[in-house]
Amino acid sequence: MKNNIFQALRLSFVLLIILAVAYPVLIFGFAQFSPNRGKGLMVKNGDKTYYENIGQSFKEDRYFQLRPSAVDYNAAGSGGSNKGPINPEYLKTVNARIDTLLLKNPGLKREDIPADLITASGSGLDPNISIQAAKIQVKRIAAVRKIKEEKILALVEKNTEKPLFGIFGPEKINVLKLNIDLDTL
């Protein structure tokens, strides 16, 4: 019995050292060789600095909107709403998002709205939208900014990220990069 207790204590101590000390130090060391020394992908725009891989809130009609966020794009508390697809409160929220999109984008039909513009991602911080989600916003942005739709569509094409190795994942657009490019037009 004493033998088992001492073995369990030794194993616990060894795992504590490996998992609580050695592993974090190793990961921290690898991070020092990554871009920006493990502090995330940063994008500078004028005097502001943004995290490229965390969704940002763009509320003005002159910008592309991204996925809604259940945590209001707060990276300190990422997470979804945890409400299922038949939850009445969730359905009310989604319908309100649909109504807002239809109001802000005249000529848009309900059936043309992609899911990523009305449903939050699991983390609430997804920085990307689908190509379709970007294209349905072009008309609104062109009207507000008084720019030809072709110029904005060209920006959408320029900012389209292809799947990893051409096969893994969908094509997507980083909304932050797209909005920064839009401001430089």
Task: State whether 172 and 103 are in the same domain.
Answer: yes
Mean of per-residue pLDDT scores for the chain: 89
Q: Write out the residue range of the structural domain in which residue 15 sits.
A: 1-39
For the cut 80, the answer to whether the pLDDT of residue 1 exceeds it is no
Number of separate domains in the chain: 2
Task: State whether 33 and 68 are in the same domain.
Answer: no
Query: What pTM value is reported for the model?
Result: 0.77
For the cut 80, the answer to whether the pLDDT of residue 90 exceeds it is yes
Backbone torsions φ then ψ of 48, nearest 5 degrees: -105, 145
Q: Where are the beta strands (DSSP E) in the chain?
A: 42-45, 48-51, 128-129, 160-161, 172-174
Residue 76's pLDDT is what?
Answer: 79
- Give the residue among 170, 81, 98 at the shortest CA–CA distance from 136: 98
For the cut 80, the answer to whether the pLDDT of residue 2 exceeds it is no
Residue 70 in contact with residue 124, Cβ under 8 Å? yes
User: Quick check: is 46 in a domain?
Assistant: no
Task: State whether 32 and 84 are in the same domain.
Answer: no
Residue 96's pLDDT is what?
Answer: 94
User: Quick check: is 58 in a domain?
Assistant: yes
